[in-house]
A = this chain, B = another copy of it.
Amino acid sequence: MYSGKKHQKYRDGIPVDMEQIKKLFIMPESADKFNEFGNELLDLIHSFFTEKGGIHSSILLPDLAKLFSNTNIPAEPHLLKDILYEIKTKVIAHSVKVGNPYYIGHMTSAVPYFVILLEMIIAALNQNQVKIESAKASTFLEKEFISWMHRIIFMRSPKFYKNNIQNRETVLGNMTLDGTMANMTALLTARNRAFPPDGRFPGIREAGLAEAYKYYGYDRSVIIVSRRGHYSIEKVGRTMGIGNRNIIKVPVDSRNKIDILRLEKTCREIEETNLGGGPRTKIIALVGIAGTTETGNIDNLKEMRKIADRYKTHFHVDAAWGGSVLLADDFRYLFSGIEKADSVTVDAHKLLYAPPSLGMVFFRNGTELKALMHNSNYIIRPDSVDLGRFSLEGSRPFASLKPWATIKIFGKHGFSLIFEHAFELTSVLRGLVEMHCNFEAMNQPELFIFNYRFAPKAIQEKLGKLMLKIQDADSSDEKNNTVKIQYLKRIENINSLLNELNIELHKAIREEDESFVSRTMIDMPQYFYQNCVILRAITINPLTTPEILKEIIEQQNKIGLKIYKTFFSGRFDKL
């Protein structure tokens, strides 16, 4: 096997025989090399962050694609330093500078530098959290960390935490591979508990969904969430077999919070149909959001809990975005009711500032996850402390070290400062937009996300007048109703052209490349749920300043006006 090649000539250091390969695995002899390359990398990383220039490199996507179009698998070994050079010139040079303080478009932001270093420890220890046999201290550290997060969410008694922090019989929560898996873990638990085993039926896990419906006399099961629900909820619904159309999406109010009356009505109608002999529906769970991915707003969790109780269903809160903010006591009031949820999702790669991806899911009582328990012979024995007994995932990294250390280093105090800073930035941005005649605020921000759009003064005035006219028109009058429909149509046309304008503006901002906001499309309650393209700013980078935000808005105004005057003003005049 390859023996003929063993005597080929290679440059020094290329791992061409087994002895050379061994040297690339950790062992005493490689000490110097390890430190040498380690230092080289530290420099490389540091220079990536200190480099001047835009957020992206200027390379076009098709050209970038060409750099990674070698269809042949590398056959011969290469020198480590050559590959590092390739990484530097091809990868690092063309990565998005998500840590740049002008990058305020996504939930991905800067990470503390010590987290970057901790990754080395995690990889070097190479523990696998699925079982104690390959994860000793890390098993216990993870449980400690989970109990901290559980406590800031559910605030159970000190005795509760003393009893459960290292209890092998209970599970306060799981670290998951991402937020989707966290939601999946919670909703799967809810599904399994909605169709449990009893004396005659082995439960949905054993018998499957169709049999469970038959046994319990249901035609379908549903999960209810607002229209601002993250797309992972639908993904989970499709995956677990209840079907996309059985994720019921309830409208939101003008603050992007679930419309509580509509939610109650949805549940009541289901109950009435069930009692009335119609097709029978099982409500697996209500899902509250804290806060929404697009607008950062938080549902009325307290009321949702009451409704979940009334209709005897699981109440899950998707706090992937906002959950970590509970580390700051002063923001707690926003989340009122979360402490009564049955399960809560939080993402560490969002506001705990860990790199992607690291989800978490917590259960109020610590017994809910038994609905997912499994084991196998070669690992995760039922009487063990193996974390893999209750996880949807199999192999899993010792990623909990990162948020555990971050919380120790910052403390709750430090996180309060970070969130106050983020909150202040959002307020500043909102102020800038509201005072600016060419921009329109599009949400009332709660958790560091602000939506707005470019809408030149004249257009805003036109829109405002039409909105007033609609309010004046009395819809009980047949004639007025026709008029109202005409107004609505005109508003829609204007919004539609504003959408085009904002898409063009967004493209131009990206080409300019000095800052980055994201864009999305939202069915705006204030505009009768017409789809509006909005710019979305997420102000969580501790290095972003009010001055930077001012620059960004000024630049967007400048570009926006230019595009408007050149391509759009004539078209708006015709509307």
Residues in B neighbouring A92, C-beta threshold 8 A: 121, 125, 137
Contact assessment for A209 and B207 in the assembled complex, using a CB-CB cutoff below 8 Å:
no
Contact assessment for A134 and B106 in the assembled complex, using a CB-CB cutoff below 8 Å:
yes
Contact assessment for B238 and A114 in the assembled complex, using a CB-CB cutoff below 8 Å:
no
Contact of A18 among B246, B421, B518 (CB under 8 A): B421
Residues in B neighbouring A77, C-beta threshold 8 A: 409-411, 413-414
Query: Could you say which of A41-49, A426-434, A475-483 contacts chain B?
Result: A41-49
Contact assessment for A178 and B394 in the assembled complex, using a CB-CB cutoff below 8 Å:
yes
Q: How far is the CA of A128 from the CA of B241 in the complex (A)?
A: 28
Q: List 29 A-B contacts (CB under 8 A).
A: A2-B417, A18-B418, A24-B409, A25-B112, A35-B46, A45-B124, A48-B124, A57-B136, A68-B143, A69-B144, A77-B414, A79-B409, A83-B409, A91-B138, A95-B137, A95-B138, A96-B127, A98-B128, A116-B120, A119-B120, A177-B393, A184-B239, A208-B241, A209-B210, A234-B374, A239-B239, A240-B241, A349-B395, A357-B394
For window 1-59 of chain A, which residues contact chain B by CB distance below 8 Å?
1-2, 5, 15-18, 21-22, 24-28, 30-31, 33-35, 37-39, 41-46, 48-50, 56-57
Residues in B neighbouring A397, C-beta threshold 8 A: 355-357
| Beta-carbon nearest neighbor of A114 in chain B | B80
Q: How far is the CA of A374 from the CA of B247 in the complex (A)?
A: 15
Residues in B neighbouring A547, C-beta threshold 8 A: none
- The verdict on A464 contacting chain B, using a C-beta distance below 8 Å, is no
- The verdict on A275 contacting chain B, using a C-beta distance below 8 Å, is no
Beta-carbon contacts of A241-270 to B below 8 Å, as 1s and 0s?
111111000000000000000000000000
- The verdict on A563 contacting chain B, using a C-beta distance below 8 Å, is no
Query: Could you say which of A147-155, A440-448, A489-497 contacts chain B?
Result: A147-155
Query: Could you say which of A159-167, A452-460, A548-556, A567-575 contacts chain B?
Result: A159-167
- The verdict on A468 contacting chain B, using a C-beta distance below 8 Å, is no
- The verdict on A408 contacting chain B, using a C-beta distance below 8 Å, is yes
Contact of A411 among B74, B129, B330 (CB under 8 A): B74
Residues in B neighbouring A165, C-beta threshold 8 A: 68-69, 71
Contact assessment for B80 and A357 in the assembled complex, using a CB-CB cutoff below 8 Å:
no
Contact of A219 among B83, B110, B210, B392 (CB under 8 A): B210
| Beta-carbon nearest neighbor of A137 in chain B | B94
Q: How far is the CA of A92 from the CA of B210 in the complex (A)?
A: 48
Known: A46-B31, A518-B378. Is A80-B393 also a contact (CB below 8 A)?
A: no
Q: How far is the CA of A243 from the CA of B15 in the complex (A)?
A: 48
Contact of A205 among B109, B119, B124, B243 (CB under 8 A): B243
Contact assessment for B378 and A243 in the assembled complex, using a CB-CB cutoff below 8 Å:
no
Residues in B neighbouring A50, C-beta threshold 8 A: 27-28, 31
- The verdict on A471 contacting chain B, using a C-beta distance below 8 Å, is no
Contact assessment for A210 and B213 in the assembled complex, using a CB-CB cutoff below 8 Å:
yes
Residues in B neighbouring A119, C-beta threshold 8 A: 119-120, 122-123
- The verdict on A271 contacting chain B, using a C-beta distance below 8 Å, is no
Min CB distance, A509 to chain B, in Å?
12
The DSSP consensus for interface residues of chain A is helix
Known: A26-B113, A38-B117, A91-B401. Is A2-B75 also a contact (CB below 8 A)?
A: no
Beta-carbon contacts of A229-242 to B below 8 Å, as 1s and 0s?
00110110011111
- The verdict on A437 contacting chain B, using a C-beta distance below 8 Å, is no
- The verdict on A542 contacting chain B, using a C-beta distance below 8 Å, is yes
- The verdict on A521 contacting chain B, using a C-beta distance below 8 Å, is yes
Residues in B neighbouring A111, C-beta threshold 8 A: 25-26, 123-124, 126
Contact assessment for A137 and B48 in the assembled complex, using a CB-CB cutoff below 8 Å:
no
Q: How far is the CA of A45 from the CA of B520 in the complex (A)?
A: 44
Contact assessment for A117 and B64 in the assembled complex, using a CB-CB cutoff below 8 Å:
no
- The verdict on A370 contacting chain B, using a C-beta distance below 8 Å, is no
Contact assessment for B148 and A73 in the assembled complex, using a CB-CB cutoff below 8 Å:
yes
| Beta-carbon nearest neighbor of A531 in chain B | B377
Contact assessment for B83 and A408 in the assembled complex, using a CB-CB cutoff below 8 Å:
yes
Contact of A152 among B73, B117, B138, B144 (CB under 8 A): B73
Residues in B neighbouring A361, C-beta threshold 8 A: none
For window 149-208 of chain A, which residues contact chain B by CB distance below 8 Å?
151-152, 158, 161-162, 165-166, 177-181, 184, 188, 202, 204-208
- The verdict on A334 contacting chain B, using a C-beta distance below 8 Å, is no
Contact assessment for B180 and A393 in the assembled complex, using a CB-CB cutoff below 8 Å:
yes
- The verdict on A462 contacting chain B, using a C-beta distance below 8 Å, is no
Residues in B neighbouring A232, C-beta threshold 8 A: 394
- The verdict on A405 contacting chain B, using a C-beta distance below 8 Å, is yes
For window 368-408 of chain A, which residues contact chain B by CB distance below 8 Å?
374-379, 385, 392-397, 401, 405, 407-408
Q: How far is the CA of A28 from the CA of B47 in the complex (A)?
A: 9
Known: A116-B124, A137-B68, A177-B357. Is A26-B110 also a contact (CB below 8 A)?
A: yes
Contact assessment for B244 and A205 in the assembled complex, using a CB-CB cutoff below 8 Å:
yes
- The verdict on A211 contacting chain B, using a C-beta distance below 8 Å, is yes
Q: How far is the CA of A293 from the CA of B131 in the complex (A)?
A: 15
Beta-carbon contacts of A84-110 to B below 8 Å, as 1s and 0s?
001100111111101100000110111
| Beta-carbon nearest neighbor of A75 in chain B | B412
- The verdict on A327 contacting chain B, using a C-beta distance below 8 Å, is yes
- The verdict on A473 contacting chain B, using a C-beta distance below 8 Å, is no
| Beta-carbon nearest neighbor of A179 in chain B | B394
Residues in B neighbouring A241, C-beta threshold 8 A: 204, 208-210, 240-242
